[in-house]
Amino acid sequence: MINVVLTGIGGQGTVLAAKILAQAAQNRGYHVRTAETIGMSQRGGSVVSHVRMGNGGERVASPLVSNGQADILIAFEPGEAARVLPLLKKDGVLVTASRVVQPVTASLSKTLYEATPVIEALQAREGKTVVVDEAPLLEEVGNPKALNIILLTVAMGCGVLGLTQDEFRQAVSECLKPRFVEMNLKAIDIVNERLGLV
């Protein structure tokens, strides 16, 4: 079983990222279940997507990943990574964006909410932690909505998803509207090249 958890803020694109991984796993013939946060939390609240792939030919029962069972956690915001960290295996991989998004609760508070202490605390964990400097990549890709593809590409580079680059690209092509496919495939190339992943 490969368990993937994606987390972020409503509207950041975690749902589509989960769909791409599910499609890639299905193309391999794995049984797949995913679960999404839909409803009130989508209004700028914390959201979590679960993707479970039966890579040993097994049937997936629960659509949700249990505590300490995620092989990889892909976070679109570092504070959100911290929030769902208990789902991640101790030796699991964490891929996280580095820019914090200020919730209104933080702007109203007297204490500042800043990226550095959160990221330092995340990096202190024993398992592999990859902090992505997404700003220059987003700029080069030229689309602020491409954060999901950037993070997925980095996650692919970590090798725990059990998918080949071709399978990943194929799933991206199948899940996106045709007019967005080329831009996203190019984004994958840019990330792989800039970070020396492939």
Partner 1 sequence: MTTRLLMGNEAFAHAALEAGVRVVAGYPGTPSSEVVETVAKLHAAGSAKGVHVEWSTNEKAALELLAGASYAGARTLFTCKQMGLNVASDALLSLNYVGVEGGCVLFVADDPGPISSQTEQDTRRFADFAKVPVLDPANVEQGMDMMGEAFALSERYRTPVIVRSTTRVSHSSTFADVADETQAMQPAGFTKDDSRFVIFPARARRGHVEINERLAWISREASGDAGDWETPNGGRPGDLSRFNPVCQHGEDPKLGIVCGGVSTEYAREALAMLAQAGELPAYRFMQVGVPFPFPDQAADVFCEGLEQIFVCEELDCVIEDAFRRLMGDRAIEGKPVARVMGRKSGDAPSVGENTSDDLRARLARFLGVEDPAADGEGFDTASVAVPPRPPVLCAGCPHRGSFYAAKRALKKMKLRGVFHGDIGCYTLGNAKPLDAVDTCLCMGAGITMAQGMGVADPEAKHLAFVGDSTFFASGMTGVANAVYNQHDITICVLDNSTTAMTGGQPHPGTGAMLMGPQTESLTIEGVLGALGVESVQIANPHDLQESIDAITRAVSFEGPSAVIFRAPCVNLFRSAQKAHIDGETCTGCKRCITSIGCPAIGYNGKVAVIDPAQCNGCGLCTQVCPFDAITVGGAE
* Interface contacts to partner 1, rule CB under 8 A: 9-10, 19, 22-23, 26, 31-46, 60-64, 66-70, 79-80, 82-83, 85-90, 92, 94, 101-109, 111-113, 117-118, 120-122, 124-125, 127, 144
**Chain mean position to CA 134:** 13
Measured from the CB atom, is 59 or 196 closer to partner 1?
59
Please report how close the Cβ of residue 196 comes to partner 1 at its closest, in angstroms.
27
**For residue 83, what is the DSSP state?**
H
Measured from the CB atom, is 62 or 164 closer to partner 1?
62
Per the CB < 8 A criterion, the answer to whether 3 and 71 are in contact is: yes
Measured from the CB atom, is 82 or 183 closer to partner 1?
82
CA atoms in the 13 A half-sphere facing the CB of 161: 31
Please report how close the Cβ of residue 46 comes to partner 1 at its closest, in angstroms.
5
Q: How far, in Å, are 6, 27, 91, 116, 156 from residue 21 at the CA level?
A: 11, 10, 21, 30, 10
Measured from the CB atom, is 103 or 157 closer to partner 1?
103
Q: Is 91 helix (H, G, I), strand (E, B) or coil?
A: strand
